[in-house]
């Protein structure tokens, strides 16, 4: 009698263990990086080239935040690549 009860108890324990294992599989957290699926840049933000102190080696006459001055400095500098312009 005692033996059959023990067998029943062991059987119940096995069923409970198997059920808990299966449920653990259902409860697995997703490992997908949801943000990475948006197709957008995920890295650090970058500052604008005109939005910082030009520094000691700066070319042209532009100040921090002066986008128009920065673009003018680059356009002026680009003309140094035009030897037709330089020769005249």
Please report whether residue 65 would count as binding another protein according to CB under 8 A: no
Residues 5-24 that bind another protein (CB under 8 A): none
Judged by beta carbon, residue 8 or residue 63, the one nearer another protein is 63
Please report whether residue 88 would count as binding another protein according to CB under 8 A: no
Please report whether residue 25 would count as binding another protein according to CB under 8 A: no
Q: What are the strands, taking DSSP E only, across 1-88?
A: none
Please report whether residue 32 would count as binding another protein according to CB under 8 A: no
Report the C-alpha gap between 9 and 35 in whole angstroms. 48
Number of residues engaging another protein in binding (CB under 8 A): 36
As a dihedral over the C-alpha atoms of residue 57, residue 61, residue 63, residue 67, rounded to 10 degrees, the angle is: -110
**Structural Rg of the chain based on CA atoms:** 35
What are the residues whose beta carbons fall under 8 Å from the beta carbon of 54, sequence distance 6 or more? 60, 62, 63, 64
| Interaction site with another protein (CB under 8 A) | 36, 38-50, 52, 54-55, 57-60, 62, 70-71, 73-75, 77-85
């Amino acid at each position: 009698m005692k033996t059959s009860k023990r067998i029943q108890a062991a059987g119940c324990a096995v069923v409970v263990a198997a059920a808990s294992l299966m449920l653990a599989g259902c409860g697995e957290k997703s490992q997908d990086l949801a943000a990475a699926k948006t197709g957008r840049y995920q890295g650090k933000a970058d500052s604008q080239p005109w939005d910082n102190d030009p520094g000691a080696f700066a070319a042209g006459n532009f100040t921090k935040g002066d986008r128009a001055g920065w673009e003018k400095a680059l356009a002026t500098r680009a003309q140094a690549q035009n030897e037709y312009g330089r020769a005249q």
